[in-house]
Structures are given as C-alpha cells and as structure tokens.
Amino acid sequence: MFQEMLNSLSTFSLKDLHHFKSDLDLLIQKKSYAEKNILDKRSSHRAPVKISGTAEIEREREFFDHTYKINIKEMSTNGLVLTIPATVIQGDILITTFRLPSNGERKVVNCKALRVKEISSNGNGIYEVAARAVDRSEVKAYREMLKKRGQ
C-alpha cells in the first residue's frame, strides 16, 4: 500500500508535491503535539522561561512566615512549572511572586499544585511543581479548610 502511494505521487507536479509536503508536515506536527498532550496531561502549550522569584506555601503560613526562592521553568496563561527547595504536597496553594523580564512589573500569582515530582534528594529535596493559577475565592476556601481541619 505504501509503495502504491509513492508510485502515485511520482505523477504529481513539483508545485503539488511541495504543497502536499507542507500539509503533511502540518499533520505530523498536530499528531505529535496531540500525543505529547496525552502523555503530559496538559491542555495548553507552556513557554519555556527562566524567571526567578519567591513563593509562600499557604499551608505553612499558619505557623511559619517563610518565603522560598523558586525558579520558574515553564509558563502559560493558566499555569506554570517551577522548582522549589521546600516540600510541596499535591493540592497545596502557592503564592508566587516574580518580576516580568520585559518591563520589570511585579506579578503575584496564586496557584494550586497539581503535580509534584522530587528531582533532587541530597539532604534537602528540590521539587518540580506543575501548578494551575487559581482565583482569590479558591485561596479563601483553602484557608477556611485549614482553619477547620482540626475540629
């Protein structure tokens, strides 16, 4: 079957072959991106970036006032991937603060940890966290849940 397709393509003009090649490249790109989305469980494309900033873990704010240095590796309109030297649990709310490289504007993003993976375990673990941006109402609900958990 493949050989028959190649034989039929030999009768096409050069212009038609270039058009076919561009359509085929686009189809291959769409299929490979769809396969990658299935494996990564991502709904949108994330841009690779190198932005440093800080993060506070909402669960720890009750007892500690500690800010962790983070490195943001990937960013999209609705989430980000970052590395943090603190233990993060799936479902934690993080308050991330960073400056945009383009104009220096300070951004504060509340996000919820969806996937957590330990990437280094030399005494202190470094975790890679995939987080989705959330609004203030979800942060408020999380704080209420933390207040009521021991009752």
Task: Encode pLDDT of 52-79 as tens digits.
Answer: 999 999 888 878 888 999 999 988 888 8
Give the residue carrying structure tokens 């945009």: 100
CA-angle at 101, arms to 88 and 136, nearest 5°: 45
Q: What is the pTM of this model?
A: 0.65
Strand partners, 106: 99
Q: What percent of the chain has pLDDT over 90?
A: 36
Helix, coil or strand: residue 32? helix
Domain boundary assignment for the chain: 2-40, 47-148
Q: May I ask the CATH architecture of the domain 47-148?
A: Beta Barrel (2.40)
Calpha distance 4→64 (Å, rounded)? 70
Helix, coil or strand: residue 67? coil
Calpha distance 33→16 (Å, rounded)? 26
Structure tokens, 86: 């603190």
Calpha distance 131→72 (Å, rounded)? 11
DSSP calls for 97-111:
EEE-TTT--EEEEEE
pLDDT digits (tens, 9 = 90+) for 81-95: 999 998 899 999 999
Task: Give yes or no for residue 43 having a pLDDT over 70.
Answer: no
